[in-house]
Structure 1
Amino acid sequence: MQNTPHALKKGIGFGLKHVAYIAIAFIFVLPLWWAIVSSLRPNTEVFADIFPFTAKALIPSPFSLEAYQGVFDRGFGIIIANTMFVAIVTMIGGLIVNGMAGFAFAVFDFKGKNAILTLIIISFMLPFEAIALPLYTVTLQLGWLDNVAALIVPSVANGLAVFLFYQFFKEVPKDYLEAAKLDGANWFDVLVRIYVPLSIPTCISAGLLLFVFQWEAFLWPLLAMPSQQFKVIQVGMAAFQQQYQTIWNQLFAVSVITALIPIALLLPLQRYYVQGLASAGIKG
């Protein structure tokens, strides 16, 4: 009986804490939920319950899929496929290039190693706008403007991904490396058979970063594809807004698709993503 007030107090604290969690989650999820609801309404009903605001604004009533049908009728499916292709190829190429670079910095000693690594670390801290003009000049000289290579190749090497791999690989016990060398393994075998299997969480973290960077890219695809014959999702969404700015439910449908695809990719892999950042990106 003496423990009853303590248990009651603990239960109330537990309940209040979770109410606060729910309230905070609601605040963050509300804009996305309203966008989803608005995309599932006829265009004439999108703002019907906003001024004045009522709870009906958060319910897709009347329910309609006309916005999504209209979006795909206007070719947005091709834009999604273009972006998926660019993002996936960049992710695969980036894992190979950045993984090998991180392995080289972690395992080998060579002249200028620390200076080069410092420059790589600085590179991912620079805003893209600072390198957009030099990158555009190089791309123009290579004749890559309006070529898919201009979207993929400059994004493959990523300073943050190199840093993640470097931080993880340098923590791998040297005993593994020495044992592999005694068995006659070459450097490629050491990387593929020992380091890569150990670094799966880091690979997932780096892969997701590369994918999201490409998925969210707007300025560079706009510069590298002046004819816009090969549109990616952010540029396509901006053009869609300018051309069809009065069809609000379709604008919300485009926004929902753009947001939910990376979320659907990230959620099932979030445990590995966090583990990779914790084990590789935070260690000094």
Structure 2
Amino acid sequence: MSLDASTARERRYGRWLLIAVLPIVLVSLLPLFYTIISSFRPGSEIFQFLSPLSINTFWPQEITLDNYTTLLSGDFLRALLNSVIVTSLTVVLGLAVASLAAFGLAVFDFPFKNTLFVVLVLSFLIPFEAVAIPLSSMFRDWGLANTYVGLILPGLGNGLAIFLLRQFFLGIPPSLAEAARIDGASWLRVFWTIYLPLSRPSLVGAGLILFVFQWQSFLWPLVIAPSPDMKVSPIAIADLAGEAEIDFGAMFAGAILTALLPLLILLVFQRQFTASLASSGTKE
């Protein structure tokens, strides 16, 4: 078979695959599209055209910014700022903790190292909801309720981030560290000048994991920081559902605003995140 015939067949298969997958992609995007459109609808129109379906189901008769005006005139901006502060500090401090822990697990030999690694792996397999309530009681006893420290601390020791960085560090040739040690470099300098620069894609991947876990956290901020001044954006959106009525328009608007920042970050760092998951870490 000629090269041209093989290429033509691959293109034909590619077109058929695209035709088969495209409807699935469009259907999966419908909830997102409906959320975006509904954030610009008047409140009375949001569920008016759900049954039967019509063009107005997915396109509003009237476009309005009232939902965003209502949302931003309340306490949502403060909650969004709290989310940014808590998540940013969690990523920075969490990367420091995770990278140092991963470095120790990948480079040094010490008793029960494998046991400790298994415990770390199990830690991110256990749902956080299972320990959130007893952990919140401990934090209240320590005076950490309604504080940034209380919101941030549980997100620092992320087992999945440590696992990802350890696997990457294991792929870095030990000869690089041995050469640096022969030249008189301390282990901290080896970590800072060799392992971290070679692990940028993995650091980005671990940072995105920390970011997503903290940004979408709901139960922990709900139980440890109920103060209005310490609410984060997911809690502020849930509070729009009052006892008498639910402002669905403002909730849709809040969901869109809350999703914008992680969407932008994922778009910017998507290549590094993919590389962090796919790379073996080999540098020789």
Fold match (TM-score > 0.5): yes
Q: Given residue 254 of structure 2, which amino acid in structure 1 is its aligned partner?
A: V
CA-to-partner distance for each residue in 1:199-234, whole Å, 9 max, x for gaps? 111111111111111111111111111334310111
Asked if 2 retains the 8 angstrom alpha-carbon contact of 1:83 and 1:215, the reply is: yes
1:23 aligns with 2:23: yes
Which residue of structure 2 aligns with residue 140 of structure 1? Answer: 140
Which residue of structure 1 aligns with residue 162 of structure 2? Answer: 162
CA distance in 2, matches of 1:34, 1:189: 52
CA distance in 1, matches of 2:117, 2:230: 35
The within-5 A match list for 1:211-226 is 211-226=211-226
Q: Given residue 128 of structure 2, which amino acid in structure 1 is its aligned partner?
A: F
Asked if 1 retains the 8 angstrom alpha-carbon contact of 2:201 and 2:275, the reply is: yes
Asked if 2 retains the 8 angstrom alpha-carbon contact of 1:164 and 1:280, the reply is: no
Q: How many residues align?
A: 280
Classify the secondary structure of the residue corresponding to 1:109.
coil
The within-5 A match list for 1:1-284 is 12-242=12-242, 245-279=245-279
Superposition RMSD on alpha carbons, in Å? Answer: 2.4
CA distance in 2, matches of 1:267, 1:49: 33
Classify the secondary structure of the residue corresponding to 1:242.
coil
Identify unmatched segments of 5+ residues in structure 2.
Answer: none
Distance 1:244 1:13, change over 3 A: farther
Identify unmatched segments of 5+ residues in structure 1.
Answer: none
Q: Given residue 265 of structure 2, which amino acid in structure 1 is its aligned partner?
A: L
* Alpha-carbon distance, 1:153 to partner: 1.4
CA distance in 1, matches of 2:51, 2:160: 45
Query: Which shifted more, 141-150 or 117-126?
Result: 141-150
Classify the secondary structure of the residue corresponding to 2:241.
helix
Q: Given residue 231 of structure 2, which amino acid in structure 1 is its aligned partner?
A: K
Asked if 2 retains the 8 angstrom alpha-carbon contact of 1:222 and 1:228, the reply is: no
CA distance in 2, matches of 1:208, 1:9: 39
Q: Given residue 152 of structure 2, which amino acid in structure 1 is its aligned partner?
A: I
**TM-score (norm. length: structure 2):** 0.91
Distance 1:129 1:10, change over 3 A: closer
CA distance in 2, matches of 1:234, 1:104: 35
Query: Which shifted more, 267-276 or 89-98?
Result: 267-276
CA distance in 2, matches of 1:186, 1:176: 13
CA-to-partner distance for each residue in 1:115-136, whole Å, 9 max, x for gaps? 1111111111101122223312
Classify the secondary structure of the residue corresponding to 2:100.
helix
**TM-score (norm. length: structure 1):** 0.91
* Alpha-carbon distance, 1:243 to partner: 5.8
Residue identity (%)? 37
CA distance in 1, matches of 2:134, 2:280: 31
